[in-house]
Amino acid sequence: MVPTRLFDLSGKVALLTGASRGMGRAMAMALADHGAKVMVSSRKLEPSQAVADEINRRCGEQRAFAFACNAGYEDQLRALVDATRAQIGPIDVLVGNAGVNPYYGAQLDISDEAYDKTMSTNVKSNLWLARLVAPDMLAKGRGSMMFTASVGAFIPSLTLGTYNISKMALISLVRNLAAELGPKGVRVNAICPGLIRTDFAQALWNNPEAQRRALEDIPLRRLGEAEDLGGLSVFLASDASAYITGQAITIDGGTFMRA
């Protein structure tokens, strides 16, 4: 056995949004399992605290903390970042996982309110978040930011058009941040899940057609599970990915293969 510290996150502080369930919860668990201290946040404190408590039981020590934050509001994001610094320390890893999709239907029929909410929460709030945590990483000359986009960014949709647009915009934001922050040692990447079996995506996978597609069209012949995101989050947070930035990494069972 070859000893390695490539995936060791001991001493690192990770801040996660949208982490009380699904993919965010799985990523928080994985980061803590590999030694990081994590701030688990979502809109409501109780489910976030439940995840933090579960992590602490698993690890046998306090590695997780909880904070209520609606990622669509800059003042709440600022309070979250301040609380993380006060309770744990300067932030080394950022996981921007919070997102919304308030509308299913034709692109031409979406209301201005739903369009603005989608673009603001899925794109602008992540810029706010990056801006708030960047000083900690710049002071150290290193750090990792990752934001949850979607494979939907690469395709049109008759029902998820604005959501997909927001995720492509988020990938563009990631690339620009990577270009700006790379010379100062900070890496920024996008995670692009395919169809993952979570509550958020239930309308997409909980039907016979999705099951057929998983068995016939997805090369790995299954839908994704939230836990499939854990390893990628650890990889991007750790020195194992030290030369990776500005990427949109798909995690979709092989559905979207690209040259």
Active site (catalytic) residues: 163
- Taking the alpha carbons of 53, 56, 61, 65 in that order, is the dihedral positive or negative? negative
CA distance 117 to 124: 10
Whole-Å CA distances, 191 to 81, 99, 170:
22, 13, 10
Q: Who contacts 168 (Cβ-Cβ below 8 Å, separation ≥6)?
A: 149, 153, 154
| Pure H helices in the chain | 22-33, 45-59, 74-87, 112-119, 125-140, 161-181, 202-205, 208-216, 228-237
CA distance 94 to 153: 21
Cα–Cα nearest to 67, from 79, 57, 54: 79
Q: Are 176 and 134 in contact (CB under 8 A)?
A: no
Cα–Cα nearest to 107, from 166, 170, 157, 155: 157
Tokens representing 67 are: 């904070």
